[in-house]
Structure 1
């Protein structure tokens, strides 16, 4: 293990829950080795952007929002009979771009069938996720938008604990939209309302109300 990587691991070991660590002038080789050393079971979120390394330790609040959003997607996909594949916080990294990122959640919708059983996520051969989700509590994911855009992710959801944003990729730039491209029933207003409801009524009650809403609105 390289001495520099050991230094990074030592700094990361002191990162508090909910904290963010930013390192600069990190080589691709050290980033790649760091991912290996931390292992696939690490709860840390790591972003690499051309030498800039960001490590975030998710808080309980962060994880709660991530889980309810994922459950909303599962529910509406099931109710609308839309096949999806969820790959959670899978690492997407491409050396030729010198960039790597780990979304809070990601979903294949339009391309779900193409990645069933896939063990490799080389974006030169496999499509990117149709939706990535970012929770902005400990960090600001706006800096990651250009990474997702360069990787060709068509839709991005962002929640900052108060507002819900949906972006669609147009000409390599993200444009804010009022409704999901993949799930047209899901507006930003509805998603924000559901997240607010989950804060006081819990996830199960929120999902029950969403199921009732879907039954009332779907054709």
Structure 2
């Protein structure tokens, strides 16, 4: 904790600091952070809810998501998980677990992440999801590529983009490799439906079940 406190308190180390109320994401960026300082900050934060940390080659971002961010994250996760249940897929979610590799000098805490089956300690998720309300200085795809995450979804301004990792980096695609039967256009449509989340998820399940009976 001692190593982390001066780094976070010093305005000279911050490239960008955005203050906001609970309706907006709050972003704090610090440069020239060593791997040891990054790990000290993770240890200092512990399981503190609402703070997500991204690290890439000396640049550290701390993000505290606002209400709209968390609402979009939650409805997307609920719809994906409902789809997996209806499709009888062995989907396991690991939320915002910390994924990091010292050799790659990268670490991230996605909004949501998943595997088919279960993940062992230190393993990489197969799918990571990021809700982008406020862009930082770190290129998240560069972080995920360095960590070897096969598939990344970004939801930004209501648009869902899917990125698949290949030999030359990520390529954007229309379909998920991780959930190939999922119609992402329909998924996005249900995400923006009016009403409470439970009602939207019930309608999503009903549509999936009716389609399965055809």
Question: Hey, what does 1:100 align to over in structure 2?
Answer: 107
Distance 2:40 2:200 in 1: 41
The alpha carbon displacement at 1:217 in A equals: 2.6
Structural RMSD (CA): 2.3
What's the CA shift for 1:67?
0.8
Deviation at 1:141, TM superposition (A): 8.9
1:7, distance to aligned residue in structure 2 (A):
2.2
Deviations 1:83-126 (A, max 9, x none): 011110000111111111110000002xx24x2xx3x21xxxx3
Q: Is the 8 A contact 2:33 2:59 kept in 1?
A: yes
Match of 1:29 in 2: 36
What TM-score, normalized by structure 1, do the two folds share? 0.85
Equivalent residue for 1:205? Answer: 199
Q: Does 1:215 align with 2:214?
A: no
Cα distance, 1:140 vs structure 2: 5.3
User: Is 2:184 the partner of 1:183?
Assistant: no
Q: Write the distance in 1 (CA, Å) between the matches of 2:43 and 2:138.
A: 26
Contact 1:166–1:188, Cα closer than 8 Å, also in 2: no
Query: What aligned pairs does 1:13-92 form with structure 2 within 5 A after superposition?
Result: 16=20, 17=22, 18-92=25-99
Greater helix share, 1 or 2?
1
The 2-side partners of 1:203 and 1:141 are apart by: 32
**How many pairs does the alignment contain?**
205
Q: Does the CA-based 8 Å contact 1:85-1:107 persist in structure 2? A: yes
Equivalent residue in structure 1 for 2:153, among 144, 153, 157: 157
Q: Following TM superposition, by how much is the alpha carbon of 1:202 offset from its aligned partner in structure 2, in angstroms?
A: 2.2
Alpha-carbon distance change, 155 to 133 in structure 1, aligned in 2, over 3 angstroms: same
Distance in 1 (alpha carbons) for counterparts of 2:112 and 2:134: 16
Residues 35 and 15 of structure 1: is their aligned pair in 2 closer, same or farther, counting only changes over 3 Å?
farther
1:192 aligned residue: 188
Q: What is the match of residue 6 of structure 2?
A: 7
1:172 shift after superposition: 4.3
Separation in 2, partners of 1:185, 1:213: 14
* Unmatched 5+ stretches in structure 1: none
Unaligned 5+ runs, structure 2: none
Rounded to whole Å, the distance in 1 between the matches of 2:136 and 2:210 is 36
**Structure with greater strand percent:** 2
